Chain A
Amino acid sequence: SQASKGEARGAASAELETEAEPRSLLQPLDERNRSGLLPCPFKVLSDERGGAHRLQPDSRALRYMKRLYKAYATKEGIPKSSRSHLYNTVRLFTPCAQHKQTPGNQVTGILPSVDLLFNLDSVTTLEHLLKSVLLYTFNDSVSFPSAVKCVCNLVIMEPKASSKTLPRAPYSFTFNSKFEFRKKHKWIEIDVTTLLQPLVASNKRSIHMSVNFTCEKDQLQHPSAQDRWFNMSPLVPPSLLLYLNDTSIQAYHGWYSLHYTRRASQSPDQKTSLAAHPMGEETAECGRASRHRR
């Protein structure tokens, strides 16, 4: 009975092993190593437990990403060759915490600011940031008869400074973005790449930011539009979109090296662009070779 018990246990763990396999199959190597401390079956259990508490994605975020998927891939899941982007990964994060800070001021057109915390744990070290946007999505009921011009003031907060480290001045990042609130627009994107690039490159796991808008009042023609705009903005927490180039071996790079070869043969300074693409050497080489041949 001992032997049969042992066999049964062996079969059970083997069964779990096969179930565990798929998720780690698609994880980049370093990811698996990081969480590889636990043998697979226990990792699955922790995932399953995590699965029980698995955070359900926000419905608006889900709708946006399904639309993005349809734009980039066929029904069978084949990436469309028509797209020209360089990224092979797009991650959408909804804020895991959101606090309303200063109230708005309807007279000067300053909207209430919100304090947002994004957890970037799922970004792997092999994923390099190419572009990042704050995404405000609107449900169908919101519609504005006119274009509203706003200035967005975004401040990245440093995590609570411990006594040892000196608190660094928070970044302040102001830019001018014209928003067209019309029926057809379901979302607006605010590019925050230059702000997030250093943070993602330094593997920051969570990003804490405060966002507020100042909108030119004369653009809001009808008082009702003003009320609607003022009452709507705090309800719509923005999502954070990261467009990344995953450099792991599992990720698809086909178009990237093709794109790079084309660029390398055009750009004079090969050196800098080589650094941008680890495999650039041989693609640049074959680019040069084909040029010589021509």
Chain B
Amino acid sequence: ASSAAPTRSDRSTHHSKSVRSYLQNFGYLKKGQPEMANLLMGDVAQSYEDDFRIAIKTLQEFGGIPVTGEIDEATKELIKKKRCGRPDREEGDIEDGRRK
């Protein structure tokens, strides 16, 4: 029965996954990070967790909402807002990692 109903951690994982794709689409997080599900794999998870948190902070700062590093209500509202499809951060436009 427990597997049938999403548990709290499942819901947060699912929620994080949509936030992660939002952060990747708009240039806050590099695509191709390790899957969220195996976060418990030692320091890779830790560094990923840091990147994720930094990306959320960057989004909150760019969007002009309180910077908490958490997916709080204001962040959820910002993510739901209508917006331009271009990324906010253009690193993705650089081939082989060179910055312009």
Whether chain B is bound by chain A comes out as no
* Chain A residues with a Cβ under 8 A of chain B: none
Binding site for A on B (CB under 8 A): none
